[in-house]
Structure 1
Amino acid sequence: MASYLSPGVYTEEVSSGSKPIEGVGTAVAAFVGFAERGPTDEPVLVTNWTQFTQSFGGFLDDGYLAHAVYGYFLNGGGAAYVVRIGGGTGDGTAAARAEIAGVGSGRPVVVRAVEPGTAGNGVSIDVQDASEPGDDAVKLVVRKGDVEEVYDNVTVRRGPSHVVTALRQSKLVAVEDVKGQSAVALPSKGTRTVLSGGEVAAVGPVRASDYVGDSGDRTGFAGLEAVDDVTMLCVPDLMSAYQRGAIDRDGVKAVQLAMIAHCELMSDRVAILDPLPDLRPQALRTWRVDEAGYDSKYATLYWPWLDVVAPDGKKLSVPPSGHVAGVWARNDDTRGVHKAPANEVVRGVIGLRSGLTRGEHDALNPVGVNCIRSFPGQGTRIWGARTLSSDPEWRYLNVRRLFNYVEKSILNGTNWVVFEPNDQYLWGSVHRTINMFLRRVWRSGALFGSTPDQAFYVKCDEENNPEENRDAGILTVDIGIAPVKPAEFVVFRLAQYSEGAALQE
C-alpha cells in the first residue's frame, strides 16, 4: 500500500481484474526416427521442409522419418520437433574427401568435408596465384554453392600462413592428419579439387530402448517431457527397424506401449500409432485385439500404409502417421480442434497398400482402427476418428483433443491464482475468467447446447472450498463441459408417401 507523506498529486495504476485465458496450440507434432545427419537425441524445432533438410538431410533408403515429416508439411503441418536416434547414420568415414595435387616434396594435402554424408559432395577447392608475388605462395578458394572461403598467401613454411593452419579455419573442409608425415606439398596452381565419395552409412544397430530413451538424459521420445508444446507423437522409423529385423513384434509392442505411457503421463498429447506392414484386414484385427491389445484414450491407430512418390521420384509405401498428423494440423487450423479429423483428404497419396471392403471396415472400426479409404472422384480420405479406448466417454478423438486443449489453456491461464488470498474475491475472479474462456469455446461450436448454461458450468464458491480445504491451501474449481460428438453414422429413413402427390389437368 502506497504511503503519502507530503502534499501533492499522485497517480496509481490498478488492475482491471480481467485476466483472459489464451488458448494454447493444438497442432505441434514430434517425430522420432533416423536421419542422414544432425544432432542426436535432441528435440529440434522445424517449421518447414527446407529447415528439416538443412538440419537432418534428405531421404534415407532404410528410414521413414524424412517421408513422415515431408507428408506432415505437405498436409498442412506448421511446426514439428524432430528427435534423431541411431547416431551411426552418415558419420565418420562416410564424409566426402579428396587429395589436393601438390608440387615439390612432401605428401599431398588430404581434406574431407565437415558435413557428413552426401552433403559434402561437390565442395570444390581452387588453387590460384597469390596476391603477393612468389613461387612458394598460393591462394585457396573453397566453394560450396553460394558459400565461398578465400585463404590468400598460404605456404608450406611454418607459421600462421601454413596451408594446414589456414584450412583449419574453414567451415566447409577439414584437413586429415597422417601420422608420421608432417611435411606437405604446396598445392599446385591452376588446379581444382572436388570432394566426392560422401555416402549415407546404413543405420546402425537399434534397440527398443533407443526409441524410448530416458527423461533424465533427454534421450528418445522420453526427452520430449521437457517440451510442453507437443500435442502429437509419431515414431515412423519403428516400422523401418522392424522391416530390417532389428526389432521383433514384441519390440514394436514395447515401444508403442511406451509411447502410450508417455502421452498418458503428459496428459496433453496423443500418440499416432502405425500398424505392422503388409497386414490384411483380418490379420490386422487379430494383431490389434489379441496381440497388441492397446486400451488408451491417448492413442489412435491408422491403417493401411500409404503409397507415395518422394520428391526424388522414388515410389514407396510409408507408414501413415506423418501424413495423418498433417491432416490433424490442417483440420485444427481450418475447422478447430473440436471437429473430428476425418473425412479429410490425405495429400500426396497415389494409392493404398491394401484395399478395404465394407464388411472388413465393419470389423475394424469398432476395435478402434481408423481406416484410410479411396473414393471415386473424392480422393484418399481418413475415414475414422476413434481412440483406442474401451471407455465410451473417450471413444472419439476430437473429444480427447478438445479436453486436452481446454485443460492446458486453463492451466496456463490461471497461474496468477497461486498464492493469492483464498477468499470470495478470488473465487469470483477465477469463476469469471474461466467462464469467459468457455464462452469463447462454446461460440466456436466446440460445445453442445443452445445456451452457455447448457454447454458448460463453472463452480467455485464456499461449497466446494470448505474451511478445511482453505486451511490446507487448496482452491477447488469444478468445471463441466458438453463436447460435441461427430456424426459417425448418418441414417436416412425413407418410406413411401402416397398422399403427397396429386395430378391435375
Structure 2
Amino acid sequence: MAGAYKTPGVYIVEKNAFPNSVVEVATAVPAFIGYTKIADNKGTSLTNKPWRITSLTEFINYFGDAPEDRFDIAEKTDADLTSDFKSGGKEFVLKRENNKADTKRYYLYRCMQLFFQNGGSPCYIVSIGGYSGDGVQRKPMELGIDLLLKEQEPTMVVIPDAVALDEGDCIGLQQYSLKHCGFQMKNRFAILDVYDGFRERSDPTGDCVTKFRADLGTNFLNYSAAYYPWLNTSIVQTTDLDFSSFVSLENVKNLLLTEAGGDTAPQDIKDILAQVGKADRDPKEKTYLSDDELHKILFSVSPTYANMLLAIKNKLNLLPPAAAMAGVYTMVDNARGVWKAPANVSLASVISPAVNITHDEQEDLNVTTAGKSINAIRSFIGEGTLVWGARTLDGNSLDWRYINVRRTMIMLEESLRLATKAYVFEPNVSGTWVTISSMASNFLTGIWKRGGLAGASPEDAFSVHVGLGETMTAEDILEGILRVTILVALSRPAEFIEITFQQQMQKS
C-alpha cells in the first residue's frame, strides 16, 4: 500500500489468485467401544482412552486377543429349546461358565476380526475394561461414548458388546449412541445390532425385530442403520479350541468314557483319559502325553469330543453384524465413494445368515408403517451372503431414507465447515462472499465429477448462494452473521428396478 512506503524503490506485492481448497474429510473411521483383554501401550494404560489403530495386529499389541470362552455340559431338559450335540442316544447342551446365558459374552475381539476381514482399515478403539467377573455393564459403555465427544476423526459408532447386556440396557445404550451421533455431534453414524437377532421372528420368545422397533423410540433415526439377522461366521476354527474350552474336565472325561464303553472301555482309552487335566503328570513316564497330543488323539478317535468342539465353534462364530458392516462401509467408501450405497456386497468370513429370509419376509423389514427399516442380510444361491438393504432407520423420510444420502451429506457438511473456519472474523463483504462461494463451488464440482452428485451438469447438481439480499439482510451483517446456502442433488440408489414387458403384433 502506497501509504506505507517511505523510501523510493520497487516493491513486490503478492496476492492470492485462488480461494482456499476444501479437503474432503474421512468418511469411514469407525469407533468401537467394548471390553478388551488388556489396554496398554508400553506401560501406559489405554483404558478409557480412544486409541487409533490400523490393523488387527495393532489391536492385539495394544488390547490383547480373545477372551476365554468356557462351557460346561448338561443334559437337555424341557426348558432347552434345542440341543447342541448328541452322544449315546442322549441330547446335551453347552452352558456358559457360571451358567450364563449364551448371549452373555465379550464380542469385541471376534467382531474386530470380522471388521478387518470385510475391508476395515483405520479405526478407534475405546477399551472400557478387561475380561472380569463383573461381566458387561451399560454405564462404562456410555462413558466410552462420551469420550468420543473430544475426537474429531471418527465417523461411525459401533458397540458389539451392547447385545451382551440385558435387553432393556441394550436398547438404552443404543438410544444413547443415537443421541451422541444425531444430537451432540451431528457428524457420525451409528450401526446397530438387533438384540437376539440370531432368532427367527416366529421364535416362541417373541419377535426380536418388533421388540427392537417398539423400544428404540423415534429420535435421531436418520443417523443410524440396523441389520438383521446375525451371522454364522468362520472366524473361530476348530484348531483354536482344546480342553481349555471346558469348565469341568471331569464331565468331559465321564462322557467320553461312557462313549468308549464305561468300565469295559479299552485300557489305552482309560489311560489317555486319566491324563487329561492331571496336574502332576511326570514327563519322564513312558505313557506321558502332552496336552496337545491328548487333544489331537481324542479329536481323532472320539466323535463325541469332536462334536462338542464343533458345537462350541458354532456358538463362538455366531456374531452380530454391525462390525462386519463397518468394514463394508469402509471398503465401499474407499472403492467407490461414500455416495455409493453399501449394499449388494458379499460378506467375507461369513458362512450364512443365522436366519434365512425370503423375498416376502423382507417386505416388512424394508418397508413398514413405523418407518424403522431393518436392512436384511440374505443368502443367494451362487452368490453367497449379501447385504440386501441400504436404508436408515428413518425409512419413511424422503430426505434421509438412504444410508449413502445421510453419510454423503455428513461428509459435505463437515468438509465445508472445516474449510470455512479460515474465514471466521474476515470482513463480511462481497470479497469474502465471492471467495467462499468459489471455494464451495470448486469442491462440489469435484464431487460431481466423481459421481457423488446427480445431474448432467454442475448447474444441475448444486448451487451456492451467498450475499446481501440473497442469503443475508443488513441486520445479519450488523450482527456479524455470514449466511451461505448450498443446494445439492444427492444420488439415490436404484432400490427397485421395474422391467415392463408387453406383447406386440407380429411384423413379418
Displacement of 1:306 after TM fit? 0.9
Query: Partner residue of 1:358?
Result: 359
| Aligned residue among 376, 381, 390 for 1:371 | 376
1:308 paired with 2:233, answer yes
Displacement over 6 Å in runs of 4+: none
Report the equivalent of 1:193.
none
Q: Which residue type is aligned with residue 488 of structure 1?
A: E
Distance 1:459 1:485 in 2: 24
Higher strand share: 1
2:148 aligned residue:
224
For structure 1, which segment, 355-364 or 11-20, has the greater mean C-alpha deviation from structure 2 after superposition? 11-20
Show the 5 A alignment for 1:69-468.
69-87=112-130, 89=131, 202-213=132-143, 220-240=144-164, 242=165, 248-264=166-182, 265-277=184-196, 278-281=198-201, 283-295=207-219, 296-310=221-235, 313=238, 314-315=313-314, 316-366=317-367, 367-389=372-394, 390-463=396-469, 464-468=471-475
Once the 2 structures are TM-superposed, how far is the Cα of residue 249 of structure 1 from its aligned partner? 1.5
Quote the Cα distance in structure 2 between the aligned partners of 1:472 and 1:291: 44
TM-score, length basis structure 2? 0.71
How far the C-alpha of 1:205 sits from its partner, in A, is 4.1
Partner secondary structure for residue 359 of structure 1: helix
What CA deviation, in whole Å up to 9, does each residue of 1:148-190 have, x standing for no partner? xxxxxxxxxxxxxxxxxxxxxxxxxxxxxxxxxxxxxxxxxxx
DSSP-derived class of the 1:350 partner = strand
Query: In the alignment, residue 481 of structure 1 is paired with which amino acid?
Result: V
- Distance in structure 2 (CA, Å) of the matches to 1:20 and 1:70: 37
CA contact (8 A) 1:34 1:203 kept: no
What are the superposed Cα offsets for residues 19-69 of structure 1, whole Å, 9 maximum, x if unpaired? 111111101010011111012111111101100000011112331111121
The answer as to whether partners of 1:281 and 1:360 remain within 8 angstroms in 2 is no
CA contact (8 A) 2:195 2:212 kept: no
Q: CA deviation at 1:14?
A: 2.6
Q: How far apart are the structure 2 equivalents of 1:435 and 1:37?
A: 48
Letter in 1 for 2:413: E
SS in 2 for 1:351: strand
Q: 1:450 to 1:401 in 2, by over 3 A?
A: same
Read off the aligned partner of 1:302 and give its amino acid letter: Y
Superposition deviation, residue 292 in structure 1: 2.9
Please give the per-residue CA displacement for 1:215-262, whole angstroms capped at 9, x wherever unaligned: xxxxx111101111111110001112x3xxxxx221111100001000
Give the Cα separation in 2 of the matches to 1:279 and 1:257: 22
Indicate the residue corresponding to 2:491 in structure 1: 484
Of 458-467 and 316-325, deviating more is: 458-467
Shift of 1:446: 1.5
- SS of the residue corresponding to residue 59 of structure 2 reads helix
Q: For the residues of structure 2 that align with 1:205 and 1:322, how far apart are their CA atoms? A: 21
CA 1:205–1:56 in structure 2 vs 1: closer, same or farther (change >3 Å)?
Answer: same
Shift of 1:408: 0.3
> How far off is 1:86 after superposition?
2.9
1:10 shift after superposition: 3.4
Q: Which amino acid aligns with 2:29?
A: V
Counterpart Cα distance in 1 of 2:434 and 2:383: 51
Residue 216 of structure 1 is matched in structure 2 by none
AA matched with 2:49: E
RMSD: 1.7
Distance 1:450 1:84 in 2: 47
Which of these two proteins has the greater Rg computed from alpha carbons? 1
CA distance in 1 between counterparts of 2:227 and 2:218 reads 13
Contact 1:288 1:294 in 2 (8 A): no
**Letter of the aligned partner of 1:260 in structure 2?**
L
Partner of 1:188: none
Q: Using the TM superposition, give the Cα deviation of residue 294 of structure 1 relative to its aligned residue in structure 2, in angstroms.
A: 4.5
Task: Check whether the contact 1:32–1:234 (CA below 8 A) recurs between aligned residues.
Answer: yes
Whether the 8 Å CA contact 1:374–1:380 is kept in 2: the answer is yes
Which structure is higher in helix share?
2
Q: 2:63 aligns with which of 56, 65, 71?
A: 56
**For residues 137 and 456 of structure 2, what CA distance do their matches in structure 1 show?**
53
Q: Given the alignment, which residue of 474, 490, 500 partners 1:493?
A: 500
Gaps of at least 5 residues in structure 1 are 90-201, 214-219, 243-247
Write out per-residue CA displacement over residues 441-478 of structure 1, whole angstroms, 9 at most, x where no aligned residue: 11111211112121111100111222100000000001
Letter in 2 for 1:32: I
Which range is displaced more, 3-12 or 390-399? 3-12
User: d(CA) in 1 for partners of 2:351 and 2:237?
Assistant: 15
Secondary structure, counterpart of 1:458 in structure 2: strand
Deviations 1:191-231 (CA, angstroms, capped at 9, x unpaired): xxxxxxxxxxx452443211111xxxxxx111101111111
Worse-superposed segment, 275-284 or 64-73: 275-284
- Tell whether the 8 Å contact from 1:86 to 1:206 is kept in structure 2 after alignment: no
1:16 is matched with: 17
Superposition deviation, residue 291 in structure 1 = 3.1
Letter of the 2:505 counterpart? S
Whether the 8 Å CA contact 2:19–2:436 is kept in 1: the answer is no
Which residue of 2 is the match for residue 34 of structure 1? 35
Code of the aligned partner of 1:300: A
Letter in 2 for 1:211: M
The 3-state SS of whatever aligns with 2:350 is coil
How far apart, CA to CA, are the structure 2 residues paired with 1:449 and 1:11? 44
Q: State the one-letter code of the partner of 1:273.
A: L
SS, match of residue 438 in structure 2: helix
Amino acid at match of 1:371: A
Cα distance in structure 1, aligned partners of 2:107 and 2:139: 19
Residue 149 of structure 1 is matched in structure 2 by none
User: In 2, Cα distance between the equivalents of 1:205 and 1:453?
Assistant: 56
8 Å Cα contact 1:370-1:386 kept in structure 2: yes
Q: TM-score, normalised by structure 1?
A: 0.72
Mapped contact 1:281–1:356 kept (Cα < 8 A): no
Sort the Cα spacing of 1:292 and 1:415 in 2 relative to 1 into closer, same or farther, 3 A: closer
